[in-house]
């Protein structure tokens, strides 16, 4: 994982963004549910430790906080659809809880001793938010909001305490907890990204696998218009079994990696490229019509044919050829039918003697 991927989600793929938001949504929902139960359950502790006057005020504050948190449960279902909803949900949670913190501390303005649970609340909140897999930039924002709100609350309620060493002590504690939160969040993000890559990448060629490809295809189909077609190229190595049989599986693997690299070189970063099966590759060219797709497939076919692959054991080189089927889709296309059509076009290319490209409307 690169450092910039820890820093901001703008360096994550669209698909991973959605996956991460889905995880955040689930954890956020559990967090809200636990907070509702915890804040309500705390009434029993208040009843035990507080004097009746305080208890009378604070149980209502807890009840109102619980009621205000409740809409965040359905909101968490919207969070997984869109980053904006996620941000709104997280900051609404912070707003409600920091207001709760403010009101509960304010209730001790008469000089009564504040139970440690109330003083520790912002630190408790920072620790809890560690469960969300947020990038460092988002974590810093959350930490800044909690730190500033906590210091402002303290200053407003007891400005005297901020003139002595208490201020340094509090700032130090808040910064320590913030760092711990960001560290845990980055760890969660890393674990999620590693798992995501394991489950969506082919370990040999590092291309995406079929599962992710189909999701990407669905996404491109969804966002394309009638006048903005896309093209699919399904290709298969010719007589690949023979390469394995004659030169060994190590050579076969080398051929697969070499062809994958050639595909990436020819089509560039705009294309969506996947290892679709054992010796099958699929390329999705957004905003590309059938004729242009066919021309690009032909360029690839010639490039593969003209670049023999060297044996990793230094036992000479082999010439590889590919056959390809090309089809065009738009937003009305039914994906399974389109994939079947690409398969038929490839089959036709194979039956025409291999090492050729067949486009099918």
The site for ligand GTP (CB under 6 A) is made up of: 204, 236-242, 244, 249, 252-253, 256, 278-279, 350, 354
Q: Closest residue to ligand GTP, Cβ-based? A: 252
- Looking at residue 328, the DSSP 8-state letter turns out to be E
Minimum Å distance from CB 315 to ligand GTP?
A: 15
Closest CA to 145 of 126, 132, 169, 172: 126
Minimum Å distance from CB 216 to ligand GTP?
A: 22
CB of 126 or CB of 259, closer to ligand GTP: 259
CB of 93 or CB of 235, closer to ligand GTP: 235
CB of 142 or CB of 318, closer to ligand GTP: 318
Q: Is 119 helix (H, G, I), strand (E, B) or coil?
A: helix
Minimum Å distance from CB 290 to ligand GTP?
A: 23
Minimum Å distance from CB 267 to ligand GTP?
A: 21
Minimum Å distance from CB 242 to ligand GTP?
A: 6
Phi first, then psi: give them for residue 233, nearest 5 degrees: -120, 115
CB of 220 or CB of 358, closer to ligand GTP: 358
112 within 8 A of 131, measured Cβ to Cβ: no
Closest CA to 97 of 35, 156, 183, 46: 35
CB of 15 or CB of 253, closer to ligand GTP: 253
Minimum Å distance from CB 250 to ligand GTP?
A: 8
CB of 211 or CB of 249, closer to ligand GTP: 249
CB of 5 or CB of 236, closer to ligand GTP: 236
Question: How long a stretch of residues is the chain?
Answer: 361
Minimum Å distance from CB 16 to ligand GTP?
A: 25
Closest CA to 187 of 124, 125, 136: 136
Please give the C-alpha separations between residue 145 and each of 21, 167, 276, in angstroms, as whole numbers.
21, 17, 46
29 within 8 A of 131, measured Cβ to Cβ: no
DSSP 214-277: HHHHHHHHHH--TTS-EEEEEEEETTHHHHHHHH-HHHHHHHHHHHHHHHHHHH-TTSEEEE-S
- Looking at residue 201, the DSSP 8-state letter turns out to be B
C-alpha dihedral over 309, 310, 315, 321, to 10 degrees?
A: 0
């Amino acid at each position: 994982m690169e450092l910039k991927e820890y820093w901001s989600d703008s360096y994550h793929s669209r698909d991973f963004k959605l996956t991460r938001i889905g995880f955040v949504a689930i954890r956020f929902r559990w967090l809200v549910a636990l907070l509702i139960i915890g804040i309500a359950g705390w009434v029993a502790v208040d009843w035990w430790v507080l004097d009746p006057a305080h208890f009378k005020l604070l149980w209502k504050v807890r009840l109102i906080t619980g009621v205000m948190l409740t809409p965040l449960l359905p909101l968490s279902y919207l969070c997984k659809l869109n980053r904006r909803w996620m941000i709104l949900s997280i900051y609404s949670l912070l707003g409600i809880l920091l207001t709760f913190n403010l009101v509960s501390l304010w209730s001790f303005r008469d000089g009564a001793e504040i139970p440690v649970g109330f003083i520790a609340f912002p630190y408790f909140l920072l620790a809890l938010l560690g469960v969300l897999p947020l990038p460092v930039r988002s974590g810093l924002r959350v930490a800044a909001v909690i730190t500033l709100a906590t210091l402002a609350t303290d200053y407003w309620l007891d400005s005297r305490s901020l003139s002595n060493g208490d201020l340094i002590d509090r700032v130090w504690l808040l910064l320590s907890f913030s760092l711990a939160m960001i560290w845990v969040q980055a760890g969660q993000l890393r674990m999620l990204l590693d798992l995501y890559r394991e489950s969506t990448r082919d370990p040999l060629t590092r291309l995406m696998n079929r599962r992710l490809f189909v999701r990407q295809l669905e996404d491109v189909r969804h966002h394309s218009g009638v006048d903005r077609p896309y093209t699919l190229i399904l290709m298969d190595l010719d007589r690949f079994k023979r390469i394995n049989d004659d030169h060994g599986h190590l050579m076969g693997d080398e051929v697969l990696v070499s062809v994958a690299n050639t595909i990436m070189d020819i089509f560039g970063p705009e294309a969506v490229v996947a290892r679709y099966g054992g010796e099958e590759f699929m390329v999705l060219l957004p905003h590309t019509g059938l004729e242009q797709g066919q021309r690009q497939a032909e360029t690839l076919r010639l490039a593969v044919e003209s670049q023999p692959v060297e044996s990793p054991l230094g036992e000479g080189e082999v010439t590889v050829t590919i056959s390809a089927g090309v089809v065009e889709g738009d937003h009305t296309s039914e994906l399974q039918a389109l994939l079947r059509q690409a398969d038929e076009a490839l089959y036709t290319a194979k039956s025409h003697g291999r090492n050729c490209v067949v486009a099918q409307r």
